[in-house]
């Protein structure tokens, strides 16, 4: 059972590629969904709460917010509001979250391997696949990319962002050279997605055939 790592820049089409691969019979493990799963666990939420003040003032210093929801899990929007304005806090959070996601991924992979008919391949989709080091368990990594002009257009048209907000999101993207420096010996395939859906489907078809042969 092969493992394909899937990552991508914002508005580049990573989620579209994931759906195309699912249609081909790949099992999909989405890191974001796994984060949601572990954030819902009260024990893990308590460990996160230990890292920070459980209650904090919002960005306007008008209301006190809690990073825990009513059920004892993580309030994701509140936690995001806390850590994404503080790079050091984000690093502390990721140091706890990334290993937990890795453990959950391995448990899910073990379940897939134990099936009477395991899937031919598993796609592990993660925005920070390379930065977290999770790419090291993959047979190959696909990095879905698009030009800044295409990204801007998609952010503004598909996500209803204003130009200033879109430019701010693009400015916070990791450096492409930094990603390449971290990849190590894992094969990396950069897939450009500046065209239409038919062109993307054709490229995915060809590369998938090479991967699973």
Instruction: Name the token pair of 79.
Output: 């936690």
pLDDT digits (tens, 9 = 90+) for 141-167: 999 999 999 999 999 999 888 999 889
Task: Name the residue range of residue 82's domain.
Answer: 40-115
Domain boundary among 80, 115, 150: 115
How many domains is the chain built from? 2
Residues 125 and 201 in one domain: yes
> Residue 171's pLDDT is what?
86
From 22-26, 57-61, 133-137, 158-162, the region with the lowest mean pLDDT: 57-61
Q: What is the pLDDT of residues 27-38, one digit of tens each?
A: 999 999 999 999
**CB burial of residue 92 (10 Å; 0-12, 13-18, 19+):** middle
Task: Kindly state whether residues 146 and 199 are assigned to the same domain.
Answer: yes
HEC readout, the chain: CEEEEEEECCCCCHHHHHHHHHHCCCEEEEHHHHHHHHHCCHHHHHHHHHHCCCEEECCCCCCEEECECCCCCECHHHHHHHHCCCHHHHHHHHHHHHHHHHHHHHHHHHHHHCCCCCCCEEEEECCCCCCCCHHHHCCEEEEEECCHHHHHHHHHHHCCCCHHHHHHHHHCCCCHHHHHHHCCCCCEEEEECCCCHHHHHHHHHHHHHHHHC
CB atoms within 10 A of CB 153: 15
Q: Which of 115, 134, 154 is the last residue of a domain?
A: 115
Is 62 a residue whose pLDDT tops 60? no
48 and 87 within one domain: yes
The answer as to whether 35 is a domain residue is: no
% of the chain exceeding 70 in pLDDT: 95
Asked whether the predicted pLDDT for residue 60 surpasses 90, the reply is: no
Q: Is residue 213 part of a domain?
A: no
Spatial distance between the Cα atoms of 144 and 98, rounded to a whole number of angstroms: 21
108 and 180 assigned to the same domain: no
- Final residue before a domain boundary, out of 98, 115, 132: 115
| Same domain flag for 47 and 73 | yes
Question: Are 80 and 185 in the same domain?
Answer: no
The CA distance from 201 to 206, in Å, is 9
């Amino acid at each position: 059972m092969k493992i394909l790592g899937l990552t991508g820049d914002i508005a580049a089409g990573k989620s579209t590629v994931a759906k195309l691969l699912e249609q081909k019979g790949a099992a999909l493990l989405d890191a974001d969904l796994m984060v949601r799963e572990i954030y819902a666990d009260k024990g893990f939420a308590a460990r996160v709460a230990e890292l920070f003040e459980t209650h904090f003032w919002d960005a306007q210093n008008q209301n006190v917010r809690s990073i825990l929801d009513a059920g004892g899990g993580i309030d994701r929007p509140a936690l995001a509001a806390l850590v994404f304005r503080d790079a050091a806090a984000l690093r502390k959070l990721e140091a706890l979250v990334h290993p937990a996601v890795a453990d959950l991924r391995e448990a899910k992979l073990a379940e897939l391997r134990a099936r009477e008919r395991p899937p031919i391949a598993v796609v592990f989709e993660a925005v920070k696949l390379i930065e977290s080091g999770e790419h090291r368990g993959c047979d190959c990594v696909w990095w879905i990319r698009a030009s800044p002009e295409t990204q801007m257009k998609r952010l503004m048209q598909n996500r209803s962002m204003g130009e200033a907000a879109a430019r701010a999101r693009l400015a916070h993207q990791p450096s492409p050279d930094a990603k390449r420096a971290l990849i190590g010996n894992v094969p990396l395939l950069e897939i450009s997605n500046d065209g239409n859906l038919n062109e993307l489907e054709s490229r995915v078809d060809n590369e998938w055939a090479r991967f699973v042969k």
